[in-house]
Amino acid sequence: MATRGSRSEKVRRIFQQFDTNHDGGLNREEMAALVVAVNPRVKFSDEQINAILDEVFRTYGEFIDGEKGLTYEGLLRTYDDGAGDVDRDFDALGLELNFDETKGVSIASEASSSSIVDERVVESQKKQRTAAWAVSPNHGIVFDDTWKIMDDLEILIKRLKAKQAKDGKLKADNFDAYSDAGWSRELGPSSEISEKRVFWEESGHDYASFVKELGVLRSRADGARSREEAFDGHMAIGRVLYEHQLFKEALVSFKRACELQPIDVRPHFRAGNCLYVIGKYNEAKEEFLLALEAAETGGNQWAYLLPQIYVNLGIALEGEGMVLSACEYYREAAILCPTHFRALKLLGSALFGVGEYRAAVKALEESIFMKPDYADAHCDLASALHAMGEDERAIEVFQKAIDLKPGHVDALYNLGGLYMDLGRFQRASEMYTRVLAVWPNHWRAQLNKAVSLLGAGETEEAKKALKEALKMTNRVELHDAISHLKQLQKKKVKPNGGANGEGAFVIVEPTKFKTVGERTTLRQDLSTALEIRSFQRITRLSRCDVELLKKEMSDKDVPVSYSGGGVPERSIRKPNLEEILRRLLNFLKPETFQGAVKAINERILSVLDEVGSGRVDLGMFYAVLAPICGGPPEKRKRVAFDALLWRPVNEGGSQIKKVDAAGYIKLLRSIYVPSHGTSEILEVHGETDTSMVSFSEFLSMFDDPDWGFGIMSTLLKLETGDRNRHGNHICSVCRYPIIGSRFKEVKAHFSLCNQCYSEGKVPSSYKQEEYKFKEYGSETEVMKDKCMCFTLHSNNDP
C-alpha cells in the first residue's frame, strides 16, 4: 500500500496531467477527459459523462473554484472518499513518480508546473512535521496553540511506545489474512489504520502515567480562549491518539469535542469509528446516526461526507447482525457516490449474507469492475456464485482472490468447502492445510481437513487431523466424528463394506417401507418434519416463546396500508421486520442472528414478498411463524389464529374469513411442505366462499393431515426427542451414533437413524421384499418393549 505522501503525490500528478490550461482547476472538459482515461474499458455516453460530472461538481461543491473547476484538494478528497483507486488510476495513465535521493521527497517530473513544485518545497516546516490531515482544509488544525499540544502529545506517545517495546508489552497482529471491513475510517485526507493492529498494555504503571499526562494536555485544550479553539484541540488530540491506535483514549477526546460542538458531524463520526474498533457496535451505530442527522441538517457543507457515514453506519449494523438494515445504507452510499467500490462490495456481501445471491453477484461484479484487484470482493463473489450453483466459475474467482492475497483465509476456507461439495477431497484438504498455515488454531478448518482426508481414503491422516482438532476445542461434534471414524475402522475388515469402510446401501422406494405400531412415523412425514426442524434450529425460533408474537401484536402500532389490489394490510419493510426479529431473538449473538435472518428471508420472506416490493404483510408473517415457535402446540395455533384476526381484513371480530384461513394454510404448506402439492387447496375449500370460521373450525382445517398442517405432530415429537442418544447403537448405513429416534427393522434387526430412515436407505446386505420398522424414542422404550414381549411369551407358555 502506498504511503500517504506518495498517495497525495500520485493524485497531484494525475491532477497536473489533466489540468491542461494550468489554471489550478479541472473544468468539466478536463474532468471528463480524466474519467474516460482512467476507465479505458468503459464506453461512456455523453449522458453518462454529464451525470458523473454533475454528481462530482455537486457533491464537492466547496472544492469548486469558479470557472477553473475542481481543485487539487477536491480531487484528493474524491479519492479519500473511495470514489476511485489512486494506484489503479495512476498505473492506467502510465505515470511515474521520481524521488530525490538526498531529500527523500517526491518531486514532479519535468512536465510539472514549477510553481506547484516550488509551493510544496517551501511549505512551512510546521505542516511537514505532522500527518496530512492536520493541514487539510476544513478538517485540519486551525489554532497555533493546538500545534503545541500535538507536539507534546507526540512526545508522550513516543515515550510510552519506547517503554512498552522495551518491556515487551507492545503487541501487533497482522491482519493481512482477513477480509478488510472496507469502512471509511476518517473524514478527509488521512492514513488508513495500519495492516498491523497494535495492542497497548493498559494495566501497567507506564500506561497510567501516560493517561495522567494526557489529562494535563486535555486540560490545556479545555483552557483555550474560545469554544472553537477547545474543540480544535480535542479533535487534534483524538486524531493523533486514533492514528496510534489508542482508541479508548481517542474516544474520550472525540466525546469531549461532541460536547463542545454537538451539531458538528466530525466528532460524532470519529467517536463512532472508535466505538466500532473496540467492539461497541450499538454505541457506534448511535454516534453514526447523530453524524448522519448533523450532516443532513447541515446542508451542502457536509453533503460529500454522507457516503462515508452511510457506509460506516451499515458496517456498525452488520456488527449487530442487522444485515437487511445495513443493505439500506450501503445502497444509499452507492447512489450518492456511484464509483464507491467499497460501498458496492459491502452491499454485495450483505446481500449474500441474507441469501439474495443474484443481487449480490451484480453488486460485487460492479465493485470488481471499478477495482479489479479487490481480493475481498472476489472472495464474496465466488461464494455467491457457488450458492447459485455456478461452481466452476466460483473456483476461478476464488483462485483469483487467492492470487491477489495468497493468505486470504476466507477464500481458502470457502474454496475448501466448495471442493468438498464437489467430492474433490484431496484438493479440499490442501485448501484447509493452507488455512491452518495462516491460522493454526482454526478448529473448523482442522475438522474439515479430517473429513476431506476421510473422503480421500486417507484414514490414518484423518485420525491425526481429528486429534489435532480435539486439542483446539472440546465440542461434541468432534467426539461424534471420532466415534464415527472408529466405526469405519471396524467396518473396513468386514465383507460387503462400501468404499473407505462405509457401509454400502440401497435406497428403497417408499411403498416398501412399512411401519409397526401407531407411534412409528411414516418415512415421508419424517423427511418433511426433519426439514422443518432443521429450519427451526438455524433460526432458533423454537427458543422464541410464541407469547412474544402476541406481545408484539398488542404492543406495537403498525399503520394500515393498502396493497396493489386495494386490500388493507399491515405491511412493513424488511429492515423494520428485521428489528422485530431482533427483539424476538434477542438471546442470539450477532453472527447467529444473521444466519437466522438469512434462513427466514430465503424461506419465508421470499414467499410473502413474491413481487419483490420489499414489504411484507406483518399479520401473515406472525401467523406463519407461530407454528414453529416455542410453547404448547395449542397455544401456537391460537396465536396463528389471532395473527390472522389482527390483520385489517379480519380485525374487530372473533372469526376470520374461510378463504383467508384456506389461503393461510396454503401459504404455510408452500413454505414448510413445498414437496407436497398445494395448488388445489383454495379450490377445494372454495376460493369465493364468503363464510366465516371460528377458532375450533380453524383448528380442524389446520390439523387436517392431507390439506392442513398435520405434520406439526411429527415436528413436536422431534422437538422433544431429537437429542436422545441410544447408548452404543449406531446407524447401520451412515455408521454415526444414533441421536433422536431409532428405527429398528423387526425382521433383520438392523437400526437406522432419523436421517437415513427418512431418505429410505438400508444396508445393501439386507435385501427384502419389504421392510418393517418400529420407532423407539429412547432405550427405555426398547426395554419396555422387551419386557412386554417376555410377558406375552410367558403367558403363551403351556
3-state secondary structure of 82: coil
Q: What was the pLDDT predicted at 247?
A: 95
Determine contact, residues 6/97, Cβ cutoff 8 Å.
yes
User: What are the E-state strand segments in 589-695?
Assistant: 615-617, 656-657, 692-693
Which range, of 160-164, 214-218, 351-355, averages the lowest pLDDT? Answer: 160-164
Average of per-residue pLDDT across 470-476: 78
Determine contact, residues 134/141, Cβ cutoff 8 Å.
yes
**Can you read off the three cell numbers belonging to residue 212?**
495522567
Identify the CA nearest to 506 among candidates 517, 496, 492.
496
pLDDT band at residue 98 under the 50/70/90 scheme: low
Instruction: Kindly give the interhelix angle for 341-353 and 306-319, rounded to the nearest 10 degrees.
Output: 30
Q: Is the dihedral of CA 26, 29, 35, 36 positive or negative?
A: negative
CA distances from 123 to 128, 659, 690 (A): 7, 79, 84
Q: Which residue reads 458496517 in cell numbers?
A: 315
- Partners of 745 in beta bridges: 773
Which range, of 44-58, 259-273, 513-527, 723-737, averages the lowest pLDDT? Answer: 44-58
pLDDT band at residue 258 under the 50/70/90 scheme: very high
Residue type, 255: K
Q: What was the pLDDT predicted at 488?
A: 59
DSSP for residue 176: T
pLDDT band at residue 498 under the 50/70/90 scheme: very low
Q: Phi/psi at 789 (nearest 5 deg)?
A: -65, -40
pLDDT band at residue 7 under the 50/70/90 scheme: confident
- Is it the case that residue 237 has pLDDT exceeding 70? yes
The overall average pLDDT reported for the chain is: 83
- Is it the case that residue 219 has pLDDT exceeding 80? yes
Q: What was the pLDDT predicted at 192?
A: 40
Q: What was the pLDDT predicted at 501?
A: 41
- Is it the case that residue 322 has pLDDT exceeding 90? yes
Average of per-residue pLDDT across 392-406: 97
pLDDT band at residue 678 under the 50/70/90 scheme: very low
Characterize the bridge pairing of strands 751-752 and 196-199: unpaired
Q: How far apart are CA 582 and CA 579, in angstroms?
A: 5
Average of per-residue pLDDT across 766-790: 84
**Can you read off the three cell numbers belonging to residue 269?**
463520526
Determine contact, residues 341/82, Cβ cutoff 8 Å.
yes
Q: How far apart are CA 512 and CA 523, in angstroms?
A: 11
Q: How far apart are CA 231 and CA 229, in angstroms?
A: 5
**Can you read off the three cell numbers belonging to residue 563?**
396493497
pLDDT band at residue 392 under the 50/70/90 scheme: very high
Q: What was the pLDDT predicted at 62?
A: 81
Q: How far apart are CA 721 and CA 541, in angstroms?
A: 17
| Domains of the chain and any CATH numbers | 3-93 (1.10.238.10), 427-491 (1.25.40.10), 540-718 (no CATH), 723-792 (no CATH)
How does pLDDT run across 163-207, given as a tens digit for each residue? 888 877 676 654 433 344 444 444 333 334 444 678 899 888 999
Write down how long the chain is.
798
- Is it the case that residue 493 has pLDDT exceeding 70? no
- The end-to-end CA distance of the chain, in Å, is 93
Average of per-residue pLDDT across 669-673: 93
How does pLDDT run across 42-87, given as a tens digit for each residue? 777 888 888 788 888 888 888 898 889 999 988 988 887 777 778 7
pLDDT band at residue 617 under the 50/70/90 scheme: very high
Most confident range (mean pLDDT) of 51-60, 130-139, 274-283, 503-512 is: 274-283
**Can you read off the three cell numbers belonging to residue 348?**
454485495
Most confident range (mean pLDDT) of 492-501, 626-635, 715-724 is: 626-635
3-state secondary structure of 226: coil
How does pLDDT run across 429-441, given as a tens digit for each residue? 999 999 999 999 9
Q: Is the dihedral of CA 343, 349, 354, 358 positive or negative?
A: positive
Greater model confidence, 69 or 684 = 69
Q: What is the pTM of this model?
A: 0.75
Q: Phi/psi at 218 (nearest 5 deg)?
A: -65, -35
Q: How far apart are CA 644 and CA 618, in angstroms?
A: 10
The DSSP secondary structure of 528-592, one letter per residue, reads: HHHHHHHHHHHHTGGGSBTHHHHHHHHH--PPPEE-TTS-EE-EEEHHHHHHHHHHHTTTS-HHH
- Partners of 99 in beta bridges: 106
- Is it the case that residue 705 has pLDDT exceeding 70? yes
**Can you read off the three cell numbers belonging to residue 641?**
389464529
How does pLDDT run across 534-547, given as a tens digit for each residue? 999 999 999 999 99
3-state secondary structure of 27: coil
Q: How far apart are CA 8 and CA 86, in angstroms?
A: 9
How does pLDDT run across 557-611, given as a tens digit for each residue? 776 665 555 566 788 999 999 999 999 999 999 999 999 999 999 999 999 998 8
**Can you read off the three cell numbers belonging to residue 658?**
374461510
- Partners of 503 in beta bridges: 497
Determine contact, residues 553/643, Cβ cutoff 8 Å.
yes
Determine contact, residues 279/244, Cβ cutoff 8 Å.
no
- Partners of 51 in beta bridges: none
Residue type, 130: T
Q: How far apart are CA 369 and CA 378, in angstroms?
A: 11
Residue type, 49: I
pLDDT band at residue 144 under the 50/70/90 scheme: confident
Average of per-residue pLDDT across 268-287: 95
Q: What was the pLDDT predicted at 107?
A: 29
Q: What was the pLDDT predicted at 791?
A: 56
Determine contact, residues 175/197, Cβ cutoff 8 Å.
yes
Which range, of 105-119, 133-147, 338-352, 512-526, averages the lowest pLDDT? Answer: 105-119
The pLDDT > 90 percentage for the chain reads 58
Identify the CA nearest to 411 among candidates 400, 425, 421, 427.
400
Q: What was the pLDDT predicted at 196?
A: 62
3-state secondary structure of 496: coil
Q: How far apart are CA 80 and CA 92, in angstroms?
A: 19
Query: C-alpha dihedral over 516, 522, 526, 527, to 10 degrees?
Result: 130
Which range, of 477-486, 605-614, 769-778, averages the lowest pLDDT? Answer: 477-486
Determine contact, residues 608/624, Cβ cutoff 8 Å.
yes
3-state secondary structure of 615: strand
CA distances from 570 to 325, 563, 609, 644, 648 (A): 20, 10, 14, 11, 7
